[in-house]
Amino acid sequence: ILNVEQSPQSLHVQEGDSTNFTCSFPSSNFYALHWYRWETAKSPEALFVMTLNGDEKKKGRISATLNTKEGYSYLYIKGSQPEDSATYLCAFVSGTYKYIFGTGTRLKVLA
Amino acid sequence: ETGVTQTPRHLVMGMTNKKSLKCEQHLGHNAMYWYKQSAKKPLELMFVYNFKEQTENNSVPSRFSPECPNSSHLFLHLHTLQPEDSALYLCASSPLAGGDTDTQYFGPGTRLTVL
């Protein structure tokens, strides 16, 4: 059974703080890793697709890194804003149609 | 506006009812997916359709019956469900099925409660 773990499960940060969280996945059978952002009552929205060890992706104040050898990816948010409040999901792809999601990290940014 | 719509957004049904969930994508994608999210559990992939053909069924009970009449529409027919089937059901689409790096575009989900 392949497990994808995300930590922490939830966190609260002050506006302006930078934060990061982790997605841990099996280090074998790696095809890709996806990050999604999911606001309450909305649809999950794709942030990044990462495929190569050492990949770094950036979109505005959000960035992500990937280490496939040790099986983890970090998502960073610089200067958090209240609109960043959401659940951040990662999905590990281990083959065709083999998407395994984590339970997410719920972020609350306090104004 | 995500380009993927789902109806209804909320559904309450009894165990003997038959109902259907509908998903429509306006993105010109060729693959569509059904996911289930139970409370405090991760998203679980249920079904995958590629060019209207079912290509994946992740051991889903037969009381869930998918239908994909064309690449833009996906249904999930429900019958004789159990209370433990209460969950959020999400639909997604992507340009290709099986593309590891293909981004999936999700609908807002249907919150299903089975009494």
Quick check: A111 contacting B, CB < 8 Å? no
pLDDT in tens, B78-88: 999 999 999 99
Mean pLDDT calculated for residue range A14-43:
94
Higher pLDDT, B7 or B59: B7
Give me the pLDDT at residue A71, please: 95
Distances (CA, A) of A43 to A36, A63, B11, B38: 10, 21, 18, 16
Q: How far apart are CA A73 and CA A75, in angstroms?
A: 7
Partners of B80 in beta bridges: none
Distances (CA, A) of A5 to A21, A23, A26, B55: 11, 6, 10, 27
Q: How far apart are CA B13 and CA B88, in angstroms?
A: 14
Higher pLDDT, A81 or A28: A81
Q: How far apart are CA B62 and CA B81, in angstroms?
A: 10
Is residue B40's pLDDT more than 90? Answer: no
Read off the DSSP letter of residue A91: E
- Give the whole-number percent of chain B exceeding pLDDT 90: 74
Mean pLDDT calculated for residue range A77-102:
93
Give me the pLDDT at residue A1, please: 61
Give me the pLDDT at residue B2, please: 56
Q: How far apart are CA A105 and CA A11, in angstroms?
A: 8
Chain B contacts to A (CB-CB under 8 A)? 2, 4, 40-45, 48, 55-56, 90, 97-98, 100-101, 103-109
pLDDT in tens, A35-87: 999 999 899 999 999 999 999 999 999 999 999 999 999 999 999 999 999 99
Task: Report the range of poorest mean pLDDT among A28-42, A47-61, B58-72, B97-111.
Answer: B97-111
- Give the whole-number percent of chain A exceeding pLDDT 90: 86
How do A10-14 and A105-110 pair as beta strands?
parallel
Bond preceding residue B8 cis, omega within 30 of 0: yes
Task: Return mean pLDDT, chain A.
Answer: 94
Please indicate whether, in this complex, the C-beta atoms of A45 and B2 are within 8 angstroms of each other: yes
Mean pLDDT calculated for residue range B38-48:
92
Query: For residue A80, which of A58, A43, A108 has the smallest C-alpha distance?
Result: A108
Q: Give the number of A-B residue pairs with CB atoms closer than 8 Å.
A: 50
Task: Report the range of poorest mean pLDDT among A17-31, A97-111, B94-108.
Answer: B94-108
- Cβ(B18)–Cβ(B61) under 8 Å? no
Give me the pLDDT at residue B59, please: 84
Of B42, B43, B107, the CB nearest to A43: B107
* 3-class SS letters over chain B: CCCEEEECCEEEECCCCEEEEEEEECCCCCEEEEEEECCCCCCEEEEEEECCEEEEECCCCCCEEEEEEECCEEEEEEECCCHHHCEEEEEEEECCCCCCCCCCEECCCEEEEEC
B83 — phi, psi (to 5°)?
Answer: -55, -35
Please, which pLDDT band fits residue B96 given cuts at 50, 70 and 90?
A: confident
